Chain A
């Protein structure tokens, strides 16, 4: 187990000049020993690159990787003693389940008795004890992926276990089970787990700390709550939540906000720089309110969808679209009507150049 410090950048091509040449823009990041982390972002944002740099499959073009303060930038995955589970199950076809699980230990010349014991423990944990003598090639995809997970967990002394979207090939109901299993394993083994995914639910339920990435940039690290309540970057607001945060272009001027031709008065305590800003408000915090209430805007309702646990109201104000999640038991506006939406409040976030203002 180890604490991992990254201070690096990576470009696949030589001589990167502009931001677009980098797969990973310069970043500093620390993963505490025993933590459960998720790297969250859309496809191609650099999360797998970052994972491969940590495991040593890839060497960063710039900067260093440190494990417990020791520079391991040039060390092989074997030397780093790291485990990694890949998106698609990797199993050794000719071996049985038990032999598959024992493989990382056998390669490291662990005594046979100890191998047997570890394989037993891991098989028990993954509920595969009954299949140990079966040939791994004949198993279903999710059983194969469980073997891959098991191979990642079988060494008790690993620095960290890295997961690269390990549940992609798994059926939804098993996904949930396996995720819970991972959580339980984290609890029992106290390993450092780093989990790459593009699924926000997966990331937020699995990890204590989520690192959100976009286009090679780490935009925010935080707990699920922080990412939801105070997105540091408009991308985070947009990417996390269902639907994502509403963003309205506003102009701040003398204690007032101009939104699509309407003027709202700001709280006296709030000091915003004058000029063009963006107001971010979660659909969960947009509420119906009385006409002319402070911090409210008149909107034209365009669509009302009953999603079951909530009602999603889509409305327009000028050119801007505003979404609201309303409780199903309260009075609902109808499409085509005018309504008043509360947009300013304690949850309001203001952004300049896509970055959150304090």
Chain B
């Protein structure tokens, strides 16, 4: 410590007050309200009963929730399994420079600019058997396609919609990664007699790793919270085929007005996301540190 002590003024704490109030008003109080709901049975505004962890126990045992969670996991993993390779393939086939590159970039980015509910509406019409291009074409080709009647068709349509909407994001990220590879790498690979696949496997993929990790993270989190598009397209149906976690929660809270179980489930949902974030964050940190040691040596 230095011999000159800095002047201490505890009044500075007051400066934090506005921020504290804002955060309390927008985040802490609503969250506490949810906590409050989750431990009470509110029968009417005047009659409420403290139930402890009863709602939590009930929600955890809820078969519908288990199914929604499972559906959600399968959906998010499918999204990654399709969008990441597809996005990489798109990025690889995009032109590197010239006016073609600009045109392709704009076209690829187009779907990213469309609001979620509009995407849902577009696909709702696109898939209709009577007037939709895709729906009627599939029917004409002999497929008995119906996203409103067939659970599998509904699920696949939601997946296809997400792929259509978000693969361009992966493609753009991958494209940025590819453009950062110096020409010398490709030249060296040609000199070394590397095949196209070897160039992809040993140059392009390793150099894209960083951006692809971000793509995985973004797509996983986003698809895990998907709500608007299936809500507009299928409303969660048929049956519960496309009822993902957000959908399930909204049905409980707003549809049936089961505020207690809904609040308990919100907290569990929140904890699931927190856990996944924590895992992904640590994974990225670990890879990031490895990169840094490489950089400090290089």
Contacts and interface: CB of A to CB of B under 8 A. Distances in A.
Q: A and B, one complex?
A: yes
A229 interface: no
Given A55-B191, A92-B202, A141 B298 contact: yes
A274 B20 CA distance: 93
A140 B298 contact: yes
Given A138-B297, A144-B298, A90 B194 contact: no
Contacts of B85: none
B46 interface: no
Interface in B252-298: 293-294, 297-298
Q: Which of B193, B198, B203 has the most CB of A within 10 A?
A: B193
A93 B206 contact: yes
B187 interface: yes
A108 B193 contact: yes
B191 A83 contact: yes
Contact of B192 (A103, A138, A139, A140): A103
Nearest to A88: B184
Contact of B194 (A83, A86, A103, A140): A103
A95 interface: yes
Contacts of B207: 93
Interface in A50-104: 52, 55, 57, 76-78, 82-84, 86-88, 90, 92-95, 103-104
A78 B294 contact: no
B190 interface: yes
A137 B182 CA distance: 16
Nearest to B203: A92
A148 interface: yes
A144 B293 CA distance: 15
B185 interface: yes
Contacts of B182: 88
A94 to B, nearest CB: 5
Contact of A95 (B190, B202, B294, B297): B202
A104 B194 CA distance: 7
Interface of B is mostly: helix
B188 A86 contact: yes
Interface residues of A, number: 30
Nearest to A52: B187
B195 interface: yes
A78 B190 contact: yes
A65 to B, nearest CB: 15
Contacts, number: 64
Contacts of A52: 187
A198 interface: no
Given A78-B190, A107-B193, A90 B185 contact: yes
Interface string B151-184: 0000000000000000000000000000000101
Given A57-B187, A140-B297, A152-B191, 5 more contacts: A55-B191, A78-B193, A86-B188, A92-B206, A108-B193
B291 to A, nearest CB: 9
B297 A139 contact: yes
Contacts of B190: 57, 76-78
Contact of B188 (A95, A140, A148): A148
A151 interface: yes
Given A93-B206, A104-B192, A107-B198, A86 B187 contact: yes
Contacts of B294: 93, 137-138
Q: Which 8 A-B pairs have the closest CB atoms?
A: A90-B188, A107-B193, A104-B192, A86-B184, A92-B202, A78-B193, A93-B206, A84-B191
Interface string B61-92: 00000000000000000000000000000000
B204 to A, nearest CB: 11
Contacts of B198: 107
A104 to B, nearest CB: 4
A105 to B, nearest CB: 9
Contacts of A77: 190-191, 193
A50 to B, nearest CB: 15
Interface in A134-162: 137-141, 144, 148, 151-152
B195 A107 contact: yes
Nearest to B198: A107
A108 B191 CA distance: 11
